[in-house]
C-alpha cells in the first residue's frame, strides 16, 4: 500500500511516526520519573511536617507531664497538710495556663491528713476555683485506676467535657510513700488539659491547597479533623466501615499499633490521595496528613502538557520541513518523469527540465540529458545504418534474382525432346549462393548437364559462381567432352586465383540417342544412379576440385542409362543439412528417402527430398545451399 | 576450433581441433601465415582432433599451401581420418597433399 504513495507522503508518515514514538516515550518517562521524584519529595516534606508537629505536641505534653511529676515529687518528699496542699495545687495551676484543671486524689486507707479524698481546682471564667468532689466512685475511673495499676504516668483517652464544652485529656501521675518494700501507693495527681491548642497545631499544618491533617487517639478516635462533625464522633475504623474501605481499615490498625508510613489512600468522596502518618509516642496518638493526588501532580501535569504541546508543534514543524524537502526533490523528479515519458513515446526533442542543482537529482537530470543525446545519436546512426542495410538488401535481392535467372528454371526445358526428363532446384542459404547447375545441348544429340558447388557462401561465392558457370557453358559448348571442359575451365580459373577459390563440379554429357553418359568429376559428391534393380551411389574417380591449381588432370568415365534410369545429382547442402542437435541428414538417409519416395515425376522426387531435408532440419537454420538435379533417360524414342 | 603450435627439431607441428568452417578457417589462415612469415616454412598439420572441415576450410588449406609453395617450404598433413578423410577423398585433396598416418611419420619423411 505504502509503495504506491509518493515520496513526500512516505517521508512525512515515517518521520512523523518515528518522532511521535520517540517523543511519547520520552515524555512518558519524564512524567513517570517526575512523579516518582515528586512522591519522594512529598513524603520527605510530609514526614518533616508531621514530625515537627508531633515534636511540638510532645514538648507540650511532656511539659504538662512534668508539672504533675513535680507536684508528685513534692507530695512524696514533704508532708502537706490540706491547706498547704491546696496552695501547692492552686499555685501550680496558676503557673501553667495550658492546664485546665489540677488536683490530687488519695487512697482511702492512706495515712491521710486530709479530710477530703480529692482536692481539685479548675479555671472558670478566668478564675481558679476549688471544685469539691464527694463522689468516691472516682477510684474506679480510668484516670485513677489505670495509672494506679500500671504504676506510671498515664494520659487518658481524650474526652469531651460537657460542662465547658472543651475536648480534654487527663495526665495522671501516681505517687507513693515509703521506699523499698514499704513503698505504698497513696494517690494520683491529675492534670486536665484542654486540647484546644492541639487543634491549633494541627490546623497550622498546611499541605498543598486542600491537603489537611487529622489526629486520632490510640483507639482511633478522631481528635481533630477539618470536619468538626467527626471529632470525637468517628473513629478511623468507623470511617473505613462507612466508606467500605478495607485499606483505610488496615491503615487504622497500623496507626493504632504506633507505626508510621506513607501510603496512597482513597479519601472522602473517592478522591485519590496520599497520606503520611506518625505516632505521638507519649500519648499513643497518631498524626496524619492527607493531600490529594491531583494537586500533587497538578504541576507535573501542567508541565507535561506544556512540553507535549511544544513537542507537537515541533513535530508539525518537522513534518512541514520534510514536506518542503520532499517537494524540492520530487518536483524536479516529476518534471523529469513527464519529460522522459514523452521521450519514451518517441519524441526525442522533448525538452528535459534544466539542471538546477548539483545534488543527486541534478546528477540524474544531467544523466538523462546525456542519455537523451546518446539516444538521439544512436537513433540517427541506426536510421543511417538501416538505410544502408536496406540498400544492400535490395541490391542483394536484385543479385538473387540475377543469379536465379542464370539458372534454367523453366521445366520442362526441352518440351520437344522426349528422350529424357530433367528437373533441378537450388535454394541458397543466404541471399546469393555458391551452388549452381546447368544443362544445355552441345549438338543435336548430346546434352551437357552439370552441378557445382563453390567453396564458401555469400557474395564472394556468388561472384565466383557467375564466372565458373559462364566459363563452363561457353567451354562446354566449344569442347564437348567433360574432362576437357573441366581441365580448360580449371586452367582459366587457376590462372589468377590468390584467394584459392574453388568449385566442385560434376559434369556429364548424355547421348540422347544411346543413353551413354560420359562424365568427369572435379571433387564433387558422387551422384546416385536409380536403375530398375535399385538405387546406388556411383563409384567414380575423385578429381581435384576446380580452380585452385593449374594443369589438374580430369578423367572421363562413362555409363549407359537404360530407359527409365535416373541420375540424381546433389550438393553437400543436402547431405550435410543439420538439425538443432548437429546431426547430419547423411548419404544413407538420402538413399533411403529416394528409395521410398516418388520415382516417376522428377519434380515430385526433388520436392520430396527437399521436404525430407526440411523435416530433418526441424527448424534449424539452413547452413548451406541446397541444390539437386535429376535426369531420367526415356530412350531414343525409336524403340 | 583450437589451434596449437609445437616446434619440433625439423618442423613446426600445427594441431587443429574442433571444426574448420567459414567461421574458423580465417583463424587458421592467419595463424599459419604468421608462422610462415616468421620463418617456419616446414609445417606438419595434425588433423587428429579435427571433427569437421567445410569447403571454406579446404580453401584455407589451399591458401596456406600456396603461400608455403611460394616460399619454397614443405607441408605435410598427418592423421587425416574419418569424415575429414571422406571430404579429402571426394574433393581430391587427398591426391594433392602429402598425407601421413601420424605426426612421427611426417617428421620422419621430412628428415
For residues A213 and A202, the answer to whether their CB atoms sit within 8 Å is yes
From A457, A499, A542, residue closest to B91, measured CB to CB: A542
Q: Distance (Å) from the C-alpha of residue B98 to the closest C-alpha of chain A?
A: 14
Query: Tens digits of per-residue pLDDT, A32-78?
Result: 998 888 888 888 888 888 888 888 888 888 888 888 888 888 888 87
Shortest distance, CA B63 to any CA of chain A (angstroms): 6
> Is the Cβ pair B90, A542 closer than 8 Å?
yes
Task: Write the residue in A456, A504, A549 that is nearest to B96 by C-beta.
Answer: A549
The answer to whether the Cβ–Cβ distance between B92 and A498 falls below 8 Å is: no
Judge: A524–B90 Cβ closer than 8 Å, yes or no: yes
Contact yes or no for A418/A637 (Cβ under 8 A): yes
Chain B 68-97, CB below 8 Å of chain A: which residues?
Answer: 89-96
Q: A506, A523, A572, A585: best mutation site toward chain B, by most B Cβ within 10 Å?
A: A523
Q: Tell me, yes or no, if B39 comes closer than 8 A to chain A by beta carbon.
A: no
DSSP 8-state secondary structure symbol assigned to residue A210: T
Tell me, yes or no, if A544 comes closer than 8 A to chain B by beta carbon: yes
Grid cell at residue A560:
549407359
| Cα separations in angstroms, A372 against A333, A351, A354, A376, A384 | 16, 10, 13, 6, 18
Q: Tens digits of per-residue pLDDT, A410-430?
A: 999 999 999 999 999 998 887
CATH number of B2-105: 3.30.750.24
CB proximity list for A552: less than 8 A, separation 6 or greater: A486, A487, A490, A494, A522, A543, A544, A546
Q: What is the structure's pLDDT at A639? A: 44
Chain B partners within 8 Å of A499 (Cβ): 59, 63
- Phi, psi dihedrals of residue B14, rounded to the nearest 5°: -110, 120
Position A142 scores a pLDDT of 83
Which chain A residue shows the shortest CA-CA distance from B60? A500
Nearest chain B residue to A504 by CA: give it.
Answer: B91
A218 to A191, A235, A253, B21: CA distances (angstroms)? 19, 10, 10, 122
- The minimum CA-CA distance between B96 and chain A, rounded to whole Å, is 8
Could you give the angle at the alpha carbon of A517 between the alpha carbons of A512 and A521, nearest 5°? Answer: 140
Find the helix packing angle between B25-37 and B55-70, rounded to 10°: 10
- Encode pLDDT of B37-64 as tens digits: 988 889 999 999 999 898 889 999 999 9
Task: List the strands of the sheet with A557-560, edge to edge.
Answer: A435-441, A446-454, A503-511, A516-522, A557-560
Residue A460 CA neighbour count, 13 Å, CB half: 12
B5/chain A closest Cα distance in angstroms: 24
Residue extents of the structural domains in chain B:
2-105
Query: Which site among B65, B91, B94, B96 would you substitute to test the A interface, given the most A Cβ atoms closer than 10 Å to its Cβ?
Result: B91
- What per-residue confidence (pLDDT) applies to A111? 58
Q: Does the beta-carbon distance from A545 to B93 stay under 8 Å?
A: yes
Q: Which of B55, B56, B95 is the closest to A544 by Cβ? A: B95
The closest alpha carbon to A568, from A589, A604, A594, A596, belongs to A594
**A542–B89: do the CB atoms touch at under 8 Å?**
yes
**CB-CB contact of A185 with A63 (8 Å):** no
Q: What is residue B22's predicted lDDT score, i.e. its pLDDT?
A: 82
Query: Residue with C-alpha cell 485519590?
Result: A272
Give kind and range of the element (H or E) at residue B52: strand B42-53
Q: When comparing pLDDT for B31 and A270, which is higher?
A: B31
Q: Please, is A137 exposed, middle or buried when counting C-beta atoms within 10 Å of its C-beta (0-12, 13-18, 19+)?
A: exposed
Q: Is A613:A492 a contact under the CB 8 Å cutoff?
A: no
Asked if B67 has any chain A CB less than 8 Å from its own CB, the reply is no
Residue-wise DSSP of A338-374: HHHHHHHTT-TTPPPPP---SSHHHHHHHHHHHHHHH
Tens digit of each residue's pLDDT (9 = 90 or more) over B62-105: 999 988 988 889 999 999 999 899 889 888 888 889 999 999 99
Residues in chain A where the model's pLDDT stays below 70:
1-5, 109-115, 637-639
Amino acid at each position: 500500500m505504502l509503495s504506491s504513495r509518493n515520496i513526500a507522503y512516505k517521508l512525512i508518515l515515517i518521520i512523523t511516526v518515528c518522532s511521535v514514538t520517540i517523543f511519547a516515550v520520552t515524555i512518558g518517562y519524564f512524567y513517570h520519573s517526575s512523579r516518582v521524584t515528586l512522591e519522594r519529595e512529598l513524603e520527605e516534606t510530609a514526614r518533616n511536617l508531621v514530625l515537627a508537629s508531633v515534636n511540638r505536641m510532645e514538648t507540650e505534653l511532656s511539659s504538662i507531664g512534668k508539672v504533675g511529676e513535680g507536684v508528685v515529687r513534692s507530695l512524696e518528699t514533704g508532708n502537706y497538710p490540706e491547706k498547704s496542699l491546696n496552695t501547692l495545687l492552686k499555685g501550680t495551676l496558676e503557673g501553667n495556663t495550658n492546664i485546665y484543671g489540677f488536683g490530687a486524689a488519695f487512697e482511702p486507707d492512706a495515712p491521710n491528713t486530709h479530710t477530703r479524698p480529692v482536692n481539685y481546682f479548675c479555671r472558670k471564667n478566668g478564675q481558679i476555683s476549688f471544685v469539691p468532689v464527694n463522689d468516691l466512685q472516682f477510684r474506679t475511673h480510668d484516670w485513677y485506676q489505670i495509672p494506679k495499676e500500671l504504676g506510671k504516668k498515664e494520659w487518658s483517652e481524650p474526652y469531651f467535657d460537657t460542662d465547658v464544652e472543651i475536648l480534654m485529656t487527663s495526665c495522671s501521675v501516681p505517687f507513693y510513700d515509703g521506699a523499698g518494700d514499704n513503698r505504698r501507693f497513696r494517690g494520683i495527681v491529675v492534670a486536665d488539659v484542654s486540647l484546644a491548642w492541639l487543634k491549633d497545631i494541627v490546623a497550622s499544618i498546611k499541605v498543598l491547597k486542600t491537603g489537611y491533617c487529622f489526629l486520632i487517639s490510640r483507639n482511633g478516635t478522631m481528635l481533630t479533623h477539618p470536619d468538626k462533625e467527626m471529632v470525637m464522633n468517628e473513629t478511623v475504623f468507623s470511617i473505613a466501615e462507612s466508606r467500605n474501605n478495607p485499606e483505610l481499615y488496615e491503615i487504622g490498625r497500623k496507626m493504632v499499633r504506633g507505626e508510621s508510613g506513607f501510603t496512597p489512600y482513597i479519601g472522602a468522596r473517592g478522591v485519590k490521595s496520599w497520606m503520611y502518618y506518625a505516632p505521638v509516642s507519649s500519648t499513643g496518638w497518631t498524626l496524619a496528613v492527607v493531600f490529594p493526588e491531583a494537586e500533587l501532580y497538578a504541576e507535573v501535569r501542567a508541565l507535561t502538557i506544556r512540553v507535549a504541546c511544544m513537542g507537537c508543534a515541533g513535530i508539525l514543524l518537522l513534518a512541514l520541513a520534510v514536506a518542503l524537502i520532499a517537494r524540492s526533490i520530487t518536483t524536479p523528479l516529476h518534471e523529469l518523469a513527464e519529460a522522459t515519458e514523452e521521450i519514451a513515446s518517441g519524441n526525442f526533442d522533448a525538452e528535459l527540465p534544466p539542471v538546477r542543482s548539483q545534488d543527486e537529482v541534478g546528477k540524474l537530470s544531467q544523466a538523462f540529458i546525456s542519455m537523451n543525446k546518446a539516444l538521439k545519436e544512436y537513433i540517427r546512426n541506426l536510421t543511417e545504418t538501416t538505410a544502408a542495410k536496406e540498400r544492400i538488401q535490395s541490391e542483394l535481392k536484385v543479385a538473387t534474382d540475377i543469379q536465379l535467372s542464370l539458372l534454367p528454371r523453366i521445366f520442362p526445358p526441352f518440351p520437344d525432346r522426349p528422350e529424357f526428363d530433367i528437373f533441378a532446384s537450388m535454394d541458397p542459404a543466404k541471399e546469393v549462393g555458391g551452388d549452381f547447375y546447368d544443362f544445355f545441348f552441345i549438338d543435336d544429340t548430346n546434352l551437357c548437364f552439370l552441378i557445382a558447388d563453390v567453396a564458401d557462401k555469400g557474395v564472394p561465392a556468388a561472384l565466383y559462381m557467375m564466372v565458373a558457370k559462364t566459363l563452363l557453358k561457353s567451354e562446354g559448348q566449344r569442347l564437348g567432352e567433360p574432362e576437357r571442359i573441366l581441365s580448360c575451365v580449371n586452367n582459366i580459373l587457376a590462372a589468377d586465383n590468390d584467394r584459392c577459390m574453388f568449385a566442385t563440379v560434376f559434369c556429364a554429357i548424355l547421348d540422347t540417342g544411346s543413353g551413354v553418359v560420359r562424365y568427369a568429376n572435379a571433387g564433387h559428391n558422387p551422384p546416385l544412379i536409380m536403375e530398375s534393380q535399385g538405387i546406388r551411389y556411383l563409384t567414380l574417380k575423385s578429381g581435384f576440385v576446380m580452380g585452385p591449381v593449374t594443369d589438374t588432370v580430369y578423367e572421363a568415365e562413362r555409363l549407359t542409362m537404360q530407359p527409365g534410369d535416373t541420375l540424381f545429382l546433389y550438393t553437400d547442402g543436402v547431405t550435410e543439412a543439420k538439425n538443432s542437435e548437429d546431426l547430419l541428414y547423411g548419404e544413407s538417409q538420402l538413399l533411403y528417402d529416394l528409395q521410398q519416395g516418388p520415382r516417376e515425376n522428377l519434380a515430385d522426387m526433388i520436392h520430396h527430398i527437399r521436404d525430407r531435408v526440411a523435416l530433418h532440419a526441424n527448424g534449424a537454420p539452413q547452413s548451406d545451399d541446397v541444390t539437386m538435379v535429376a535426369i531420367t533417360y526415356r530412350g531414343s524414342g525409336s524403340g | 576450433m583450437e589451434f596449437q603450435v609445437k616446434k619440433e627439431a625439423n618442423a613446426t607441428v600445427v594441431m587443429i581441433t574442433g571444426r574448420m568452417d567459414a567461421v574458423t578457417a580465417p583463424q587458421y589462415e592467419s595463424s599459419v601465415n604468421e608462422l610462415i612469415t616468421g620463418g617456419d616454412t616446414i609445417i606438419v598439420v595434425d588433423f587428429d582432433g579435427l571433427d569437421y572441415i567445410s569447403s571454406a576450410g579446404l580453401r584455407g588449406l589451399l591458401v596456406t599451401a600456396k603461400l608455403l609453395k611460394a616460399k619454397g617450404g614443405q607441408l605435410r598433413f598427418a592423421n587425416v581420418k574419418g569424415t575429414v578423410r571422406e571430404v579429402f577423398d571426394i574433393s581430391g585433396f587427398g591426391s594433392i597433399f602429402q598425407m601421413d598416418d601420424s605426426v612421427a611419420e611426417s617428421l620422419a619423411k621430412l628428415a
